[in-house]
Structure 1
Amino acid sequence: MSDRADRPLDAESPLTLPGFFAALDDGELFGGVCTDCGAVLFPPRPTCYNCGGTNVSAEPQPKTGTVYTYTAVHSPPPQLDDDAPYTIAVVELDGGGRLLGRVDAPYEAVEIGDEVRLRVREPTDDERALALEYEREWPMHVFDLDG
């Protein structure tokens, strides 16, 4: 377990959104793992949304998984009109848990069960314009087809 995961619950903890994105910016993907029921939580949080337990720890997770479901966005917010259509998917990560994200592939090239790998990148100016002020520097996660 990383030193980051051992920190107390504050804004830097990976069990908070700022901490989750700070870790992601450093190349680390953390999920909250409930020791009561085994659920893997994305984004991580201090309370399990599956069983309500509070025995949740932040643990590194693999950046690989499979497409659980996906869709194409044809009518995005105006700032992303030039990107449309784009593909988003719910990915079941290899360590458990599901994470929503954009897939860097056309809709027609994606299928349920496809293997993907998470990549972190800087947000575009248009993506920053959609974010709350404190979120504007958070990195973006994107899934690439892996294979």
Structure 2
Amino acid sequence: MTDESDSPMTDTDSTTTGPLTAEALTADSAFTLPGFFDALADGRLLAARCTDCETHMLPPRPACYACGSRAVTLSEQPRTGEVVSYTSVNRPPSAFEHLAPITVAVVELDSSARLTGRVAAPLEDLAIGDRVELEVRDPEDVGIDPAFDLSYEAEWPVHVFERA
């Protein structure tokens, strides 16, 4: 991760304020799922932060789900954190069948934002409190058949947590 002073996206950058009207929210906005994955493909993990109640939202949203405020900003997130919950998915969606069973965890990043994702470790090798780091991969490198993608997902990367 880059030093925040070198990052073009920080909480103090006024250009990252959330869209205040429906017309201001575009399909490629960083406050939408496609915008989140575009940033991830560019190597940036972004979260929204409500400036009224301090809730982190990852992936970003244009309004806070805790208090409803539209006073949200974007901030670059660390890729490291710790496992706070985890489970195994034994019957995943078709595109991921060959990876079953899949270990999935809720990870609290070092910023306190939480992100759910696949962990590249067997369930029995993982524990609450384990340190992990987010890796971004091309879906084809993971063996995910592009035929399963929806049209707007074709360029989306896959995020996977590796044990640190």
TM-score normalised per structure 1: 0.90
Does 1:33 find its partner at 2:49? yes
**2:32 & 2:97 partners in 1: Cα distance?**
31
- Counterpart for residue 64 of structure 2: 48
Structure 1 residues 39 and 26: CA distance shift in structure 2, 3 A: same
Structure 1 residues 120 and 12: CA distance shift in structure 2, 3 A: same
- Counterpart for residue 78 of structure 1: 94
SS at match of 1:82: helix
- Counterpart for residue 4 of structure 2: none
Does 1:2 find its partner at 2:23? no
TM-score normalised per structure 2: 0.81
Contact 1:128 1:137 in 2 (8 A): no
Structure 1 residues 47 and 127: CA distance shift in structure 2, 3 A: farther
Structure 1 segment 47-126 matched on structure 2, within 5 A: 47-124=63-140, 126=144
- Counterpart for residue 136 of structure 1: 154
Cα offset, 1:3, TM superposition? 5.5
**1:10 & 1:29 partners in 2: Cα distance?**
19
Structure 1 residues 12 and 78: CA distance shift in structure 2, 3 A: closer
SS at match of 1:43: coil
**1:110 & 1:12 partners in 2: Cα distance?**
36
Stretches of structure 2 that go unaligned for 5 or more consecutive residues are: 1-6, 20-24
Identity across matched positions, percent:
50
Q: What is the CA deviation profile of residues 60-102 of structure 1, one whole-angstrom value per residue up to 9, with x for unaligned ones?
A: 1111111010011111223322211110111111112211100
Structure 1 residues 40 and 127: CA distance shift in structure 2, 3 A: farther
Could you tell me which amino acid in structure 1 is paired with residue 8 of structure 2?
A: S
Contact 2:9 2:74 in 1 (8 A): no
Structure 1 residues 72 and 14: CA distance shift in structure 2, 3 A: same
**1:96 & 1:39 partners in 2: Cα distance?**
9
Q: What is the CA deviation profile of residues 2-36 of structure 1, one whole-angstrom value per residue up to 9, with x for unaligned ones?
A: 26973674333321111111111111110000000
Cα offset, 1:55, TM superposition? 0.3
Name which of structure 1's ranges 131-140 and 121-130 shifts more when overlaid on structure 2. 121-130
Does 1:22 find its partner at 2:77? no
Structure 1 residues 39 and 3: CA distance shift in structure 2, 3 A: closer
Q: What is the CA deviation profile of residues 83-141 of structure 1, one whole-angstrom value per residue up to 9, with x for unaligned ones?
A: 11110111111112211100011111110111110000001353534332111210111
Could you tell me which amino acid in structure 2 is paired with residue 117 of structure 1?
A: E
Q: Which has the larger radius of gyration?
A: 2
